[in-house]
Amino acid sequence: MIIIGICDDEQLYRAQVKTVCSAFFDAQKQEYRFVEFTSGDQVLAYQGEKIHLLFLDIEMPGTDGLEVLSQVRRNERIWRIVFMTSHKELKWETVDLKTLAFLEKPIDRIGVETCIKTVLRENRENIDISFKTFKGPGFIRLDRIVFIQAQGNYVNICTEKEEIPGYDSIKVIEEQTKGTTVIRTHKSYLANLQFVDKMNGFTLQMTNGSSVPIGRKYLASVKEAYFAFIKSITIDRNR
């Protein structure tokens, strides 16, 4: 089930997005449902199921779209955002990990469908990582992992809200994360590029305030992966 959110104070634009999304999902035989909002404040108060893609107007009375983005960066209920506006000069203010695209009004079908395809692909890539715990098998979604630290034959899985002990070697988890945004940075660390605030020499500063070391043998590959990731969310998504 894919949940699509639409936030716009004008019913006309909400209806346009719903029409295009419904036609696409019906053709693909994909289950879906909509959650509608008429203000940014309603989005911030939302406590329902995870919204996979939120179509968000920038200019609205009260809390505008840019303020919504600043407040939901760590909100797992809002996964990806598409901004809608008639002011193209605001485009680069919307760039963020959560931001898939910036669509100018009036919204066109191809732009909406491209965003849907992207979120479906990224949702498929957001795999469950398995690990052992004292109580049996454990699982965690890739996009919850900030970094993983090896401690002998054990690992400590750090999210933005908690630390989870695992009883596997870091190599076992690394095998599962190949080709994803979780990369090896050090003999004892894996880091998720989705949570890197900045790269500073031989250190990654993470969004939760933690620092992850970069080993000398990993420096070149970490730089390459980091800058490719930045390009993917700042340029490739916004062409």
For residues 195-220, average pLDDT: 94
Whether the predicted pLDDT of 239 surpasses 60: no
Q: How confident is the model at residue 175 (pLDDT cuts 50, 70, 90)?
A: very high
Is this structure's pTM higher than 0.75?
yes
Higher pLDDT, 175 or 238: 175
Kindly state the percentage of the chain with pLDDT values over 90: 69
At CA 137, angle to CA 214 and CA 128, rounded to 5? Answer: 55
Instruction: Report the DSSP beta bridge partners of residue 136.
Output: 133
Contact between 101 and 88 under an 8 Å Cβ cutoff? The reply is no
Homologous superfamily, domain 128-234: LytTr DNA-binding domain (2.40.50.1020)
For residues 205-231, average pLDDT: 93
Kindly state the percentage of the chain with pLDDT values over 70: 95
Q: Say if 2-125 and 128-234 have the same CATH topology.
A: no
Given 3.40.50.460, 3.40.50.2300, 3.40.50.280, 3.50.50.60, which CATH number is that of 2-125? 3.40.50.2300
Domain boundaries, the chain: 2-125, 128-234
| Residue appearing with tokens 């899985």 | 157
Residues 6+ apart with CB under 8 A from 181: 142, 192, 193, 194, 229
CA atoms within 13 A on the CB side of 142: 20
Q: Which tokens in the block code for residue 78? A: 């809002």
Q: How confident is the model at residue 236 (pLDDT cuts 50, 70, 90)?
A: low
pLDDT digits over 101-116, tens only?
888 888 889 999 999 9
Whether the predicted pLDDT of 89 surpasses 80: no
The rounded distance, in Å, linking the Cα atoms of 217 and 57 is: 45
